[in-house]
Structure 1
Amino acid sequence: MTAEPILTISGLNVDYGTGANGVRALRDIDLTLHRGEVLGLAGESGSGKSTLAYAVTRLLSPPGVITGGDVHYHRPGGGEPVDILSLTPDELRAFRWQELSIVFQGAMNSLNPVHTVHSQLTDVLTAHRPGMRAAERTARAEELLTLVGISADRLAAYPHQLSGGMRQRVMIAMALALEPEIVIMDEPTTALDVVMQRQILRKLVELRERLSFSVVFITHDISLLIEFSDRIAIMYGGRIVEQAGAAEIYRDPRHPYSDGLLHSFPALHGPRRELTGIPGSPPHLSAMPTGCAFHPRCGKAFEPCAERVPALAPPDAGQDREVACWLHH
């Protein structure tokens, strides 16, 4: 992995609705994905993870609207960055899947039940590679299935004839069809059992090493991210509250929310530890607390937490990590 950025997000804000009934779902998001990196995005349901993914890919459904900020894609080899938020519909259609693809939440149910795997894998090739002959598209579809560990003879199968894990891998194959530089995965293993989750993740790591694409992996299960992410960003209440290397987050979480997430799942190795979890529930977007959004649930909250929003900044000079918490500022 190099320090060269491939995707930069600056000051991104997203609202659902407008006027008096509007709520802010993302607040001043600053995030950088580096080339060849796996960036994990963790947080409870409602923290803004999927909204961020759909904002970056311009797939927000109404009444979602981007109200501020910039998203830039940096092509390999340099040149002017691509302003994703300014792309026309035709430019956006060419950009998606070619440069950036997404595996949607509940991906194994995203396949069309009345079309074969062959039809759905070759559809993206037909749209983006009009010069390819039918035989070439079929050969590429067979190659993609083999790439994700599925026999090429399953091309003729319908989705209901595949297991959940196989359908999930077909969706991953579809996302890799045009060899994009960035793949966003929105909780792709949520509906799978833990054995299949590990198989999917091992295959993903293998593919990333072979094809050198960058990954944004979104999940509420931080234990998955620690295993294979390079960096992790923690979201709460529409903000990023901490970001650091995966090993740093595991060994020394600085934000109380990050610490709570880590102590919400059992350790598979080492001494037995008590599961503490996080008291209370995430805030509703229409009734966000003042100051730090986490302070009503935080056992370490003190005077400034309820009054002022802490900035996302390095807790100590020279550190390559950031945390938004008054304990460290």
Structure 2
Amino acid sequence: MAEPVLEIRDLHVDYGFDDDPTHVLRGVDLTLHRGEVLGIAGESGCGKSTLAYAATRLLPPPGLITGGEVFLTDREGRRRDILSLGDAELRSARWRDVAIVFQGAMNSLNPVFRVGRQIADAIMAHRPGVRRAEAWEQAADLLETVGISADRVRDYPHQLSGGMRQRVMIAMALALEPQVLFMDEPTTALDVVMQRQILEQISELRDRLGFSVVFITHDVSLLVEIADRIAVMYAGEIVEEAVAGDVYRRPRHPYSQGLLGSFPPLHGPRRELTGIPGTPPDLSALPPGCPYAARCPHAMDVCREVRPALTPTAAGEPARSVACHLHTEDVRLPESLAV
């Protein structure tokens, strides 16, 4: 496996500055390797976007990073903690080493500036020696890179479709050839045809430019199309991490199985959707034990008392970790979760 380019270690995030904050991320550990696409899946409110914004230090108030480290290995081979960088170092690292594509392209683009100017401004801000005319030429080339005609460089955001606006955001994020690209549900508001085009575009650009991607979505079946590995989040924690195909074909955590049963398959025969009963837990008042126990059809007494750690399964599967008591040595697995 390639060397790590981004390492998130024991990351904790709270919302609120009072004496009783809400713990929305609790000890998250993730590693992204060079050239890899790491998918992060989970329901709304599980902490996916918070993880992306915390790792890039874009977390707005009242969000507060209370612990952890985010190591980025830059082009010179230096391993630095993003959370400890000064303002000047952080400004230099953003867009050059790590960039982000936000979920709402229309809200992320300035409606009163042409899209070409917004890309050109980002280039000139990080490369002072580049002239404005040259930056506009680069902006036009970037639009063509993501499948938009160069003559649209002088259009305003409202003159573009939703899919084209999302492509503009991808072009802007790639303007300085970053090593790591966070994509926060970039296809959520798009139709299935445009989703497919965006996914193919990302895969093609990744293969050509060699950057690494953290792709965030609630749709596990979508991640199977693009991701190398998948990390499933629930209640601010990683509950399963494995190779994408293994998560899709052989989910080990009951929550992963529930997510897969909530979306129609992209290929193969039709099947009945099952969904997940109940609602996600209140992060400000989590119960003891496993946070998924109240919704889990396989919950045991130990699940309601002891919080499971994210560890390799008892079956010794390579490159897979699960936070579930069902996968300890002394438990007889249900058939649906058996190896």
After TM superposition, the structure 1 stretch with the greater mean CA deviation from structure 2, 276-285 or 102-111, is: 102-111
Q: Which deviates more from structure 2 when the two are superposed, residues 44-53 or residues 279-288?
A: 279-288
Contact 1:26 1:48 in 2 (8 A): yes
Q: Which residue of 2 aligns with 1:39?
A: 38
Opposite residue 193 of structure 1, the aligned amino acid is D
Structure 2 unaligned spans of 5+: 329-339
2:65 is matched with 66
CA contact (8 A) 1:232 1:243 kept: yes
1:165 counterpart residue number: 163
Matches for 1:173-184 after TM superposition, within 5 Å: 173-184=171-182
Aligned partners of 1:184, 1:167: CA distance in 2, in Å?
17
Residue pairs, 1:275-314, within 5 angstroms: 275-314=273-312
Q: 2: CA distance between counterparts of 1:269 and 1:218?
A: 21
Equivalence for 1:6 = 5
Offset, 1:154: 0.5
Which of 206, 228, 231 is matched with 2:229 structurally? 231
Aligned pairs (5 A) from 1:1-329: 2-76=1-75, 78=77, 80-315=78-313, 316-317=315-316, 319-329=318-328
Deviations 1:161-216 (A, max 9, x none): 11111111000000000000000000111111111111111111111111000000
Question: What's the TM-score once normalised by structure 2's chain length?
Answer: 0.94
**Structure 1 position 272, deviation (Å):** 3.0
Classify the secondary structure of the residue corresponding to 1:244.
strand
The answer on whether the counterparts of 2:117 and 2:136 sit within 8 Å (CA) in structure 1 is no
TM-score normalised to structure 1 length = 0.97
Contact 1:108–1:171 under 8 Å retained in 2? no
- Compute the displacement of 1:77 (Å): 5.6
In the alignment, the residues of structure 1 paired with residue 211 and residue 3 of structure 2 have an alpha-carbon distance, to the nearest angstrom, of 13
CA RMSD of aligned residues (A): 1.1
The percentage of counterpart residues that share the same residue type is 65
Deviation at 1:318, TM superposition (A): 5.7
Deviation of 1:81 after TM superposition, in Å, equals 0.7
Number of residue pairs aligned between Structure 1 and Structure 2: 327
Contact 1:241 1:323 in 2 (8 A): yes
Q: 1:297 to 1:105 in 2, by over 3 A?
A: same
Q: Which runs of 4+ in 1 moved over 4 A?
A: none
What letter matches 1:142 in structure 2?
A
1:291 alignment partner, SS class: coil
